[in-house]
Structure formats: C-alpha cells, structure tokens
Amino acid sequence: MVRFEDLEIGIIDVEQGIRQTLDKELLDELTASIKQYGILQPLVVEPFDEGRYKLLIGNRRLVAAKLAGLEKVPVIILDEPLESKDSLAMKLVENLHREGLDPIDEAEAYATLKDMGVKVSEIARRVGKERTYVSHSMRLLGLHPRVRKSVRQHELPREHALSLLRLEPYQQIALAEEVMEKGLTMVETRDKVRRLLGKELKWRLVPIRIEPAVYDRLIQIAPEGDVAELLKKAVERILTETSPQLLS
C-alpha cells in the first residue's frame, strides 16, 4: 500500500545518484508557481532510516519547494522499500484499485505514473478505465488549490470541477463555492462557465424518447437515415409557420 501525507522537507534525503543540475529558468518558474498555488503533484518517497525518508521521484519539486520557503511538501509514501520503478508502478496501480480514493489522490497517482514514463493508454489499461477518464483526471491538478481541496473532500463533484478548468483561478473559486452552496447541475455550471468566458450558447441538447416502431419509420423517411436532422428541420418548419420571429 501507499500513503498520501505532508512531510517536513528536513526529513527527506536525496540520493547522490539523483540528477543535481537543474535548469535555472525552469526552476524559477516552478518556484513561482509553488509560491502561488503550492505543489500540484506529490513527491514519491520511501522509508529510509528511523524517522527519515528517501526521495524516489520529484527532486525538482523538492528543490523548488525549499526555494519557495515551504516547510512541508505533499508526498506519496511507500510502506516498504521497493526494488525497482516497475515495482513502484505496480504498487501505485494497486493503490488505485482500492475503495475510497478521492479524485485528487487518483489524479496524483496517474500523474506520478506518467512521470515515470508510463503512457496514458497503458495506465488506463492497468486500472480498467477509459484513456479520456485518466487524462481528464490528471487535468484536475490544474485547479486552484482551494478548489482541489473541495474535490478531495468530495464537496465538489469531479465533473463539475473539470468544467471549471477554463476559468481564471479567482473565477474557479467563486463558481465552485456557488456550485456547492446552490447545488448547481452540470448544465447550470457549464452555462455559467460559458457566460464567464463570454461565449454564447450555440445549441441546446433536447433528449426525447421515441417508440422503436416510430423510430424505424423515421429512419425510412429521413434523408440518409439521419433522424436527428429530420426532427430538427421539422421543428424549424413548425416555428417558421407559427412564430417566424423566433428564427430571425
């Protein structure tokens, strides 16, 4: 098993073999990001000595965290040392199958596997998820930390959170609070996101139920069997005959 915790930086040791030369410009950018948003993806460590841990993945994040003045960092702790990165990947996949894993823990585990060189399609295959599900989950790490906390605590649904990603951080926070306070549906949330982005609604999905026999008859008379287009034109014709101003 693996555990997700916040550890003091002073008890994390870096092996001599880990690359020490880091690109200064990239490191400065990461440090600035950590100062503003915190560490979005946890480091991976394993028990090393009594009360100390050895860093396995995340040296650049650890260095940037020190430069940003952090005292603690989020980590994935392995309960016992592993022999190889392949073993670590297997352990993370095993952890992803356990119940009660919150969406952010899940996203962090996916991102760690990707950092290790595991392709998204392979991650999806190992955990029995669609590739799009895995890639969308990792996008949750781009949310503002306050919004991620709400997702982690199951106060903000995963799908609602994903719809906020196109917004600025302050907009994410404001709309996330509104979703939780008012219990907004996905349709309402997406409409609000669209308005905040200044985009007009181009169309609205209207689900309808049709008897199988009726549907079969519609296919026969619809151009190229396109029932949706047939119904759309029928509605437009009715509106033109009864309320032409609605289509102008």
Write the CATH number for 133: 1.10.10.2830
- Strand 72-78 and strand 52-57: the pairing is unpaired
pLDDT mean across residues, the chain = 82
Per residue in 134-182, pLDDT (tens digit) is: 999 999 988 998 898 899 888 999 999 999 999 998 899 999 999 999 9
Share of the chain above pLDDT 70, in %: 82
- Regarding whether 117 and 72 lie in a shared domain, the answer is no
Q: How far apart are CA 237 and CA 28, in angstroms?
A: 61
Q: Which residues of 142-160 are buried (b: 16+ CB within 10 A; e: fewer)?
A: bbbeebbebbbeeebbbeb
- Regarding whether 71 and 127 lie in a shared domain, the answer is no
pLDDT of residue 202: 61
More confident residue, 237 or 160: 160
Residue 100 has pLDDT above 80, yes or no: no
The model's pTM: 0.56
Domain ranges, residue 109: 84-90+97-142
pLDDT of residue 239: 80
Give residues with Cβ within 8 angstroms of 130, minimum separation 6.
124
Average pLDDT over residues 6-25: 74
pLDDT of residue 19: 47
User: 204: pLDDT confidence band, cut at 50, 70 and 90?
Assistant: low
- Regarding whether 230 and 167 lie in a shared domain, the answer is no
pLDDT of residue 118: 82
User: 39: pLDDT confidence band, cut at 50, 70 and 90?
Assistant: confident
CATH of residue 18: 3.90.1530.10
**Total tally of structural domains belonging to the chain:** 4
- Regarding whether 235 and 170 lie in a shared domain, the answer is no
* Distance from the Cα of residue 168 to its chain's centroid: 16
More confident residue, 193 or 85: 193
User: 241: pLDDT confidence band, cut at 50, 70 and 90?
Assistant: confident
- Regarding whether 73 and 44 lie in a shared domain, the answer is yes
